[in-house]
Amino acid sequence: MVVVAVAGGSGNVGRTMVETLLELREHEIIVLSRKQSPGVANVESVVVDYGDVGAIAEALTQHDGWGSLPNKRSPVYAFREASNAELRKTTLEWTRVSNGFFPDYYGSPRVKTHLPTITFAVDIASREAALPGTRNESIAFTYSFDLARFVSASLSLPKWEETTYCYGDKTTWNEFIKVAEDITGSRLRVTYDPVEKLQKGEFTELPPHAKEAAASPFPEALARSLLSILGLWTAEGYFNISVEGSLYQKFPNKKLMTVRDILLQGHGPK
């Protein structure tokens, strides 16, 4: 058993990580946080100044750490890469996890998740979809709680690479629509957003988008632009993950939630 420090353990993905690690009972858990805040019961919380690299390194030297880093195409990636550069100067062993896209969003509200509501590409409630790219690009999906189980399993690996890849299912938007229509028993009204449109920052709006953009912690214009960016990422293959060397391949016996599982639980018969 090792001690695992979860950065942002009271946040959306962090809380998922903490709850899963506690359920597995394989490790001792502590939460790293910018400030003292209510967290998961019976879990130690350690306040860390994220602006002090030395303090973070000291905290992580005492524990195995887990945190969240953005995709290389993320608008904030350049800032996070500076953190990676500092990590490379230390003796810490570290990795960043690439897990594709969370399918949790498509099972709301019946699928357990701590992620906020985001409507991207498919809105099953309104039976509408706006699919990016050719719709045949392969997309990796990882249910948030499966991601947590993968991370727990990775702690037993003899060595971490700089990037750890994992996914629970792979499909295309065309196949996704077929599964959704099969489960709901109704056709979805589908439109298509080519790459050229997405590159201009444009996308086809779905019914929930206006309300979600207004409620976003980001400025409304930025919240909307992120949807076109997500569309580009899927169309350009940034949500596709190779099987070779992935945790999916290294831990083949794990029972994982597929896209069909998520949609069936979220929108199938009660």
Asked whether residue 40 is assigned to any structural domain, the reply reads no
Please report, for the domain that includes residue 130, its CATH number.
3.90.25.10
Q: 17 — phi, psi (to 5°)?
A: -60, -45
pLDDT digits (tens, 9 = 90+) for 189-209: 999 999 999 999 999 999 999
pTM over 0.75: yes
User: Which amino acid belongs to residue 134?
Assistant: T
Mean pLDDT of the chain: 86
Instruction: Give domain status of residue 242, yes or no.
Output: yes
CA count, 13 A, side-chain hemisphere, 140: 22
- The string of pLDDT tens digits covering residues 73-92 is 555 555 567 777 877 888 87
Q: Are 82 and 51 in contact (CB under 8 A)?
A: no
Give alpha helix (H) positions in 163-241.
173-184, 195-199, 209-215, 220-235
Cα 75 to Cα 263: distance, rounded to the nearest angstrom: 30
Task: Dig out the tokens for 19 from the structure.
Answer: 């709850």
| Number of domains making up the chain | 1
The angle formed by the CA atoms of residues 250, 254 and 259, to the nearest 5 degrees, is 105
- In this model, does residue 103 exceed pLDDT 90? yes
Domain span at residue 150?
Answer: 99-267
Residue 27 counted as domain residue: no
Q: Find, among 242, 241, 230, 220, the residue nearest to 195 by Cα.
A: 230
Query: What local confidence, expressed as pLDDT, does residue 69 receive?
Result: 41
Residue 145 lies in a domain: yes
The confidence band for 56, taking pLDDT boundaries of 50, 70 and 90, is low
pLDDT tens digits, residue range 7-41? 877 788 889 999 998 888 888 888 877 766 666 66
Q: Is there a domain that residue 58 lies in?
A: no
* Residue 34 placed within a domain: no
Inside any domain, residue 44: no
State the pLDDT at residue 54. Answer: 62
CA pair distance 11, 72, nearest whole angstrom: 22
- Residue 197 within a domain: yes
